[in-house]
Amino acid sequence: MKIKRIGVIYGGKSSEREISLKTGTAIAKALKEEYYSVILLDSGKADFVKKILKSKIDFAFIALHGPGGEDGSMQGFLETLDIPYNGCGVLASAVSMDKIYSKKIFEYENIPTPEWYVISLNTPFLDSRFSFPVIVKPARQGSAIGINIARKKTELKRAIKEALKYDSEVIIEQYIEGKEVTVAILGDRALTPIEIIPKNEFYDFYSKYSAGGSEHLVPARLSDKISKKAMEIGLRAHKSLGCKAVSRIDMIIDKRNNIYVLEVNTIPGMTNTSLLPDAAKYEGISFGKLLKNIIYYSLNEKI
C-alpha cells in the first residue's frame, strides 16, 4: 500500500496529554523529513472528527498515551472509518492497557509477573496480602501516573486512595527489588534490552519525561544468557496479548536474575527521553527509519 498522506493523532484528553503533544510533534517532524505529507490532528479538540473526515489521510499514526488512545477506542474509531493505523488492534490495545486482564493472560501463558491482587471502589480496604513494600497502581493508566510504593499500612491506605482518583480498580503488586529493564519489540523481533536507572525511587512520571530524570544503559548490564532470556520473554508477552508491529515490555530482574514482566506498552513514547528510539538507535535504526518500519509492519508489508 502506497502511503502518501499521514495524520498524526495526538493530544487527547487523558492525563498524559502533554506527553502526547510532545510525542506527536516529534513524529510529525520526522515523518516530514521522510518526505510524507503530514497533518497533525488533536483528538482532544471539539473539531477532531470534522477535521479527520476532511483530512483525506490514507494512514493514521496514533501518538496518544493512556485512556482514549492506547486502550483500543481510537483504534476502533479508525477501523470504522477504514483508515489503517500503526501498531496493535482494538483487542490487543484494550487488554494491554488493562493491567488486570494482561496479568491474567501472563499467568495463563506462564509468563512470570509479580504477585498481585485487586482493590476496587466497592471493595472494603484489606490489609496487604504480601510483606511490605508493595506497589499500588491504577488498573488502566500509563506513564506511571497514580503509582506509589507503600512500605507500611498507613502508606498503603494513602496510595490506594491516590490510585482510585485515576481508576475504579487498583492493583496491589508485590514489590521486587532489582534492575528495571525494558525490551522493545519491532516487527517480529526483540531489540536489545535497556536498563533504566531512575533518579527517583522507581521509574515514575518524572523519571520518564524529565531531562536527566533517568539514565538509559544500552545494552543493559546483563549477561548474554539473561539478556537473551529477557528478549525471549518480552516477545512472548507481546505475542500473548496479540500485539502487532511495535510494543515495549517493562520488566524487573531481581538479584537472582529472575525476570518479571510488569506491563506491555502498545504506544511507546517518542520524545527525546523515550526508550524505544534509544533501543532502535543502538540497533542502527534512525528515528525516521523506525517510524517507517512501524508503518510497514502495521500494514503487514515487508521492509
Question: Are residue 253 and residue 107 in the same domain, yes or no?
Answer: yes
Q: Per-residue pLDDT for 202 more than 80?
A: no
Inter-residue contact 74 to 66 (CB < 8 Å): no
Q: Does 101 share its domain with 122? A: no
* 3-state SS, residue 64: coil
Do 99 and 223 belong together in one domain? yes
Asked if residue 159 is part of any domain, the answer here is yes
C-alpha cell at 17: 496529554
* Amino acid identity at 8: V
The number of distinct structural domains making up the chain is 3
Q: Please tell me whether residues 145 and 265 are part of one structural domain.
A: no
Residue 101 is predicted with a pLDDT of: 96
Q: Are residues 282 and 207 in the same domain?
A: yes
Query: In this model, does residue 71 exceed pLDDT 80?
Result: yes
Residue range 116-139, pLDDT digits in tens: 999 988 876 667 788 999 999 999
Higher pLDDT, 174 or 274: 174
What's the domain range around 67?
Answer: 5-85
CATH code, domain with 156: 3.30.1490.20
- Return the pLDDT at 289: 96
* Beta pairing, strands 134-138 & 148-150: antiparallel
200 band by pLDDT with thresholds 50, 70 and 90: low
Asked whether residue 100 falls in the same domain as residue 124, the answer is no
Higher pLDDT, 212 or 223: 223
**Is it the case that residue 174 has pLDDT exceeding 90?**
yes
List active site positions.
Answer: 16, 143, 209, 248, 250, 263, 265, 269
Whichever domain contains 11, its CATH number is 3.40.50.20
- Would 228 be classed as within a structural domain? yes
